[in-house]
Structure 1
Amino acid sequence: MLYTIIQIIAFQTLFLLVYDLFLRRETFFNYNRTYLLLTSVLSLVLPFVKFPKLKKITTNDVVIQLPEVFIGTKVPTANEIFIAEQAGIIIEQPQTPIWQSIALFGIALAALIFLFKIGKLYVLKFRNPKRWQGNVLIVKLIKSSAAFSFFNTIFLGERIPERERPIIYKHELVHIKELHTLDLLFFEVLRIILWFNPLLNIYQNRIKELHEYIADAKALKQNGKVEYYQSLLNQVFDVKNVSFTNTFFKKSLIKKRIAMLQKSKSKQRQLIKYTLLLPLVFGMLIYTSTEVRAQVKSVVEQEINSDFSNVESYTPTSIQVKPKVKQNVNQELTDAELIKKYYNELVAMKKNGASFLEIAKYADIGTENSEKYLLSKGEFLKSKAFMQYVVEHMSARKSEKGTLTTEDFQTFEKLTFDKHKTYLDYRAWKKTDEAKEHWESYSRDGVLRLFVKEIGNQSAEEKELFDRLLKQLENDDYEKIIMTDGKSTFVVNDYKSPEQNEVIESIEVPFSVVEEVPTLVECKDLMSNVDRKDCMNQFVNKHVNKNFNTSLADSLSSGRKRIFIQFKIDTLGYVKAIKARGPSKVLEEEAKRVIKTLPQFTPGKQKGKLVVVPYSLPIVFQVAGTNSTETKVSLEELVAQRDRVLKNSSEDNPVVIRLNRQIEAVKKNKSVNDKVDELTKYLKEELNKTQKDSIQLQNIPFSVVKVAPVHPDCKTLTDEEQRKCTTSKVNMHVNKNFNTNLANELDIRGRQEIFIAFTINKEGYVTDVKARAPHKELEAEAIRVIKKLPQFIPGKHDGENVDVPFSIPVTFQVNNTKKN
């Protein structure tokens, strides 16, 4: 609140400075009146207006708020009072802060003064004779020479000479017709609420000054200047000191009024001064939109040691070090109370019309938290609340359909069961080798993960493993490396080794973009490159499934396992440079063995020339649990074994009893698995539904989008011709504008290739331009050229404008002759 008040006073100061320096001496009285009224309102509104897009104009600062330090007695929070009451402890209720008491007292006193002034006016009105003249009530003040107006009432002193009364009447009549009393009452109300703000007195004085100028200017048209001046100078100033009345005789204003009457009319070009308001308001909006207020108190858990000795020999282009921050989330509540609180918030979001995707995003499901090693307490408890919400939502839906059974209740209970009942249990599990192995192996495509004992002090083995990951990152198939020790996180988004900056005679083109993919003889005759890609993928997948020895994974912990394989198909069609990353060395070697058995392929081509094609393949398989013997035996085998025993025995036989128990356990597990499949199906349906309703969130590639973006020179052609024409126009634009002499200036020789990627957004503008080249200056030149492309006709998918990614390779030959 205090910060908002300071902003209001600061904004009013700036508005008044502009008025006094540039506008006050101009004769645009009505414009000035509008300015004062408008800026007084803006000063109250702007502190609460925030435009997130304006935040991009300024640099984003990182603000870390330290823990609170209480001086004196800490005021108990509402949660502390509630918990104490439940425990039977009497705790002192929080008192109203002293500043609130002072503010309320000031408002009450200012309101009493205002009511006193109103009372004085009505006493004058009822104690003095009065008469109506049209819609105006004229009150004759006995033994007074005052003259002022209030709404439609004009107060005239009986001592005012008869010859001057018509002039004064016309003057006060202008105040009534122009509703000047409303202006003064508006500022009077502001003075009551913000009684401590002296700038409102200045505002009110400026507006009263303008009222007199406006009334003088209109009254002067009906009377001569000399006569009007005489009426101003010849009066005895018996003025009622009421701040919200328009007074004809006021000593401090008469000199200014006469000076303004003598001033020549301002020229129209002076109106340009009012445009000063635009940059002033825009600057205030930037300030209010970029202010940072900490919503969650946080402390830095550990400082990062940035001395990565194993990275010094490399030149990563984008490295981020993220300190792990521990959030202080509702420390007064238990885990169970917080889960209930988050669950209620999810239910409230559903009632307010939030989509399933929005609810999942609020619960931090499917966000960047999937890459975190250790979730915060709030994130962990939100995920548990989300699972409870999903299960109860499914239960309600089944109940409405009349398909809810007792077995469903048992299944839902098992689905919501978590071996980490509390956040402390979860943190303890994260310290185990099982958790570390699970985090490394559970990785999405394009992200490599590594857990180390201590960032900045890695062992020789950890450094060697990190070097291997850096080498993998050099290829386009991987986006980044995430390394963590559970406390701090080290992220490498891009990496180039010194060798990569040298000219490479053998060009590599990723499998996803190469014009003619490597393939088999039986796939070579297929019509399209897409069909040949599918044929190649199916063959590799079948080959791995057929030859991979999955029994090698039996020694691993149960759960889903992944092995990432990468290899290259050279210009002769042979497989080389095989790399594998998996949960164990044995599985990595097995993956390499299987890939080495692949046959010779027909090599890939780009622009009619043979090229090396990198290929990546994730292998995913499920390792069954080793602790439960019941799950290893099929239901049919158990039933058959029990029937064989029953032929020569009875139901009371201990062997039969044990077999019956095993059969029941297998049935229950099968039921749970069925319900898990049902839950997965439900989640997919919800997400698919949300994705269909929110197609604007998707990026549709140029080759897939139904209506591709169109270059302005190609809009008269057919759809297929427009695609070819747009691609041709982009190529011509690059050929025409790219500075090929730059390679000579950088002393780069041989064949050079630049990969450029950008997005044509929903408005048709080029955004997110990126380039990969042997030299930074070549990348900068490529980005400069692409940014000069004109506005396109945006692409459409299912009738909606969408963002369309576009990529283009730039290849040129630099002669080997050196410059003199």
Structure 2
Amino acid sequence: MLYTIFQIIAFQALFLLVYDLFLKRETFFNYNRAYLLLTAIVSFVLPFLKFPELKKMTTQNVVIQLPEVFIGTKASPISEIQIAETAGKIMEQPKTPIWQYVFWIGLIIATLVFVYKIVKLYWLKENSPKRWQGNILVVRLIKSSAAFSFFNTVFLGEKIPDSEKTTIYKHELVHVEELHTLDLLFFELLRIVFWFNPLIYIYQNRIKELHEFIADAKAVKQNGKAEYYQSLLNQMFDTNNVSFTNTFFKKSLIKKRIAMLQKSKSRQLNLIKYALLIPLVFGMLIYTSTEVRAQEKTETKNEANQELTDEQLIQSYYDEILKMKEEGISVVEISDYTGFTIKNSDVYIRSKENYLKSIAFMQHMADALIKRKSEDGTLTDKDYETAKNMTLNKHQSYKEYREWKKTDEAKKLWESNAKDGELRFVVNDFKNKTAKEQKRFDELLGKLHDDDNFYKLTVCEMVGVSKIELYDNSDEDTKEIEVVEENIEVPFLVIEEVPTLPKCLDLTNNKERKYCLSDFVNKHVNKNFNTDLAHGLPPGRKRVFVQFKIDKEGKVKDIIARGPSEALEVEAKRVIGMLPQFIPGRQKGKLVTVPYSLPIVFEVKDDAKRLNELIQERDNLLQNANADKNPVIIQLNQQINALKTKLKDTLDSFRAKNYDKFIERLETKAQRDSVEFIPSEYKKTKPENETEPWTTVEVAPVHPNCNPISSESDSKECTTSAINKHIGKNFNMNFAKSLNLTAGKKRIFVQFKIDKEGLISNIIARGPHPKLEEEAVRVLKLLPQFTPGKKDGETVDVAYSIPIIFQIVNTKND
């Protein structure tokens, strides 16, 4: 934005320089008027005009970027998005730059000044004597000798001598007929928006001079030069100061006007000076067109500023593989991510993304081999040789790989590696086969049809990078035509302008927009993913790994999900497919496709084991507490009832006949002391109502410290703040530091329910260490009883989630 403004000011300065040096003294007043109006407009348009064809007129290799030299330690790539420093802290909105405040203050002041001038003008018009003279309104100014015009209104001071009023009136009539007021209002509006640009004021002064020259030239024809000179010299009195009116008596202009009247008419040959505008504008267009080069990608080998180099992309893919490994992603899932799949085995030319990912994957496998052997103490020279062979790459770049694929050696190698029952053939252009290629194709097609040992022919072409699969099938010869895309995809972690949402555009930097997008996707999945589909799976933590791409239009595509069951994979694809259209990402100024990976992690609990634990916990509390008044025991009873209902629903489907015996095995002595646990009553318990999300519940639960607050939004904000403060006060950070965790930001994601009694229940915590999860559960159990949430006038259970975030500092480096 600021750069564009600087360009506009520079162009205006050049236009004004040409005007003052070559055109200002000429008597081509109407041409000069057109020049000033046109160049003022063109200066605003030029920065946005880009003509790539003009780049061919300049030297192509103007800038050569040498390889980067790193002194000291090279900065590591961003591995995670930094977020709030403390538990539950809400990210601050970015501060508005000071220059924006200054701009808007100046704009408001300039607007007020303009409005004041308009009001003053209309006040003079309404409070002064006036009369119509044809279609011109003549206003007589009391006790004034000023003379000026505004649209079709001419203002004449009553002190102007009668002998000169006719001359002055004819002068102002020229302003009205030539619509000079429109010119001045145009520049007045520019002065409001670009109040900080001094060149706009110079433009306006130059156009006012021209207006007077034009009016003088026409008026003097009717009155004679001598009489007109005398009028100018006699009337050096008070003047009107409104910048968008044409004033007859302006002392600073009198001398220039007389000098211009005395000047001889310019020769027609001098009109050639206006041709200077052509090379001037052409040069500006070349500048604006070639300036965009730095924002475009080229395919030269060493220009690292045009796009990410192969080395940078390999490093980013390698970092993503490490991150996936740390998150517990299996090798099979990682190989899917990198394209090491059976599906891609018969692709002749791999896309740049898959090719570079494969290099990163093999490097990771080699490093993992060396690390594993080193830790086991079994590392040998043979292992080093194996690792070296795994990472040996005879092609230095993707470009070299593509060139090698054009050779006969590469084609024969790929064709000879066909699986049993399959035939392969590489052709340059399938639609325009050479005679040799057509003959070979016909031979393979005949073999496919006649030889029962073959069932499939795969044809790959070089031009369109397409794959055609032909099957020996009477119903359908062609199964599919798959076009392998070569569009460069920039990983989410390293992209310069991340895909985002309209609500995230106001954020000042890419890091904050990354967090905004990730937070939105996480909340979307958390809200819409149906974990009930995991029922029937063994208890424990489950993970569905999802990959998708945000294309150049901001649409989600190519969704891949890998999970413990097909139902969960389908559900993950459904939820990701519901994401809205994003604002697409950009790399070096160009729209790019951005791959995004997301692990969906949840817990499948052993309900019978959990029920037994709750009963034992309640049993211990009953020994020293009153069951009727203790809120913790009431809360445990509710959790036990809910679990019993859930178990009954499950058992009704699988082993309903053994239900009573199953419940009896879980009951302890303490259950007989409380009517809450009589099996007969339990059988009558109705399933709990569906839990309402905190963000959508009609009346949210209220923390005791927030009563009474009338506004629902204020109440929610107060309750959220109270929970955050409670966590920040009670969470034991010293305990977290004692676990020897790696340095960096740590997150514990906590979910719980505020039930119909206002009590905290169903606390689930997931973090980097089981002890931290236990600490989070302990802290949340200390929360007081809330005023319960409501829907349609009835109390309801409300689900609440919060991230607890803290920093582990590596004291060894301090």
TM-score bucket of the superposed structures, by smaller chain: 0.3 to 0.5
Bigger relative contact order, structure 1 or 2 (CA pairs below 8 A, ≥6 apart): 2
Normalised by the length of structure 1, the TM-score is: 0.41
